[in-house]
Structure 1
Amino acid sequence: MNVELKDNIKFTTSNIPFAPSYKPGLVTKNSGWRNEKPVCDTEKCNGCFLCYLYCPDGVISKYGDKVEIDYDFCKGCGICQKICKHGAITMESEK
C-alpha cells in the first residue's frame, strides 16, 4: 500500500517502523522476586471484573463469572486488591 502525502513524501507499509507485540505486562516470568500475590476468594467475587480492567500487567483473565490470575507474570502490585469493592482479593505472602 502506498500513500502519497504533501510535498511528494511517500510512505509504504514496508518502511513503517514497528515493534514486536507481546501480551500486556511482563514479557518474561517474574523469577520469584514478588513478595505478595493476590488470591481471589470465589465465594466473595461477584464477577464485576474491576480487577481485570485495572490490572496493569493483564494477568487477570475472565472465566465465566469468575477470574483467574496468572502468577507467572503477576508483579504483586496489589492494585486488584485495592480496586475490589467486595474484599474478594487478598494479598498473601510468598515467603
Structure 2
Amino acid sequence: MKGPMKRRILGPCATVFTAANTGSWRLERPDVDTDKCVHCGICSQYCPVDCIRVNKAEAKIEFDWNYCKGCGICANECPKHAIRLIEERGNN
C-alpha cells in the first residue's frame, strides 16, 4: 500500500467571516438601573459578544442592540445588581 496522497493546498482560506445581526433573536433585553450602576465595566468584560460599552464620560452603559442576544450574563455578573432583563416583545 502506498503512503497518503500529497495534495497541493492553496492558502490562506478565502473565506471572510463577518458578524451577522443577531439581535433579532433576543426575547429579553438588559435594562440598567442608573442609580445602582457604578460603571465598573464587569458587564462589558463578561459579555460573550462584546456588545457592551461603558461610557464613563457620560456615566452610562451602552449596548449594541444589533448583537445583544439577551443572554443575561451581564445581569448575573453585575456586582451591584444594576442590570435586569425585561421582556423585549409583547405576548402575541
Q: Give the structure-2-normalised TM-score.
A: 0.71
Q: C-alpha deviations, 1:16-64, integer Å up to 9, x for none? A: 6266465xxxx12126221101111111100111001000000001211
Corresponding residue for residue 39 of structure 1 = 31
1:57 aligns with 2:49: yes
Aligned to 1:32, the other structure's residue is in SS state: helix
Task: Tell me how large the CA RMSD over aligned residues is.
Answer: 2.0
Stretches of structure 1 that go unaligned for 5 or more consecutive residues are 1-14
Aligned-pair identity in percent equals: 38
| Structure 2 unaligned regions, length at least 5 | 1-9
Runs of 4 or more consecutive aligned structure 1 residues displaced over 3 Å after TM superposition:
18-22
How many residues align? The count is 77
1:17 maps to which residue?
A: 12
The match for 2:73 is: 79
State the alpha-carbon separation in 1 of the partners of residues 72 and 30 from structure 2.
Answer: 7
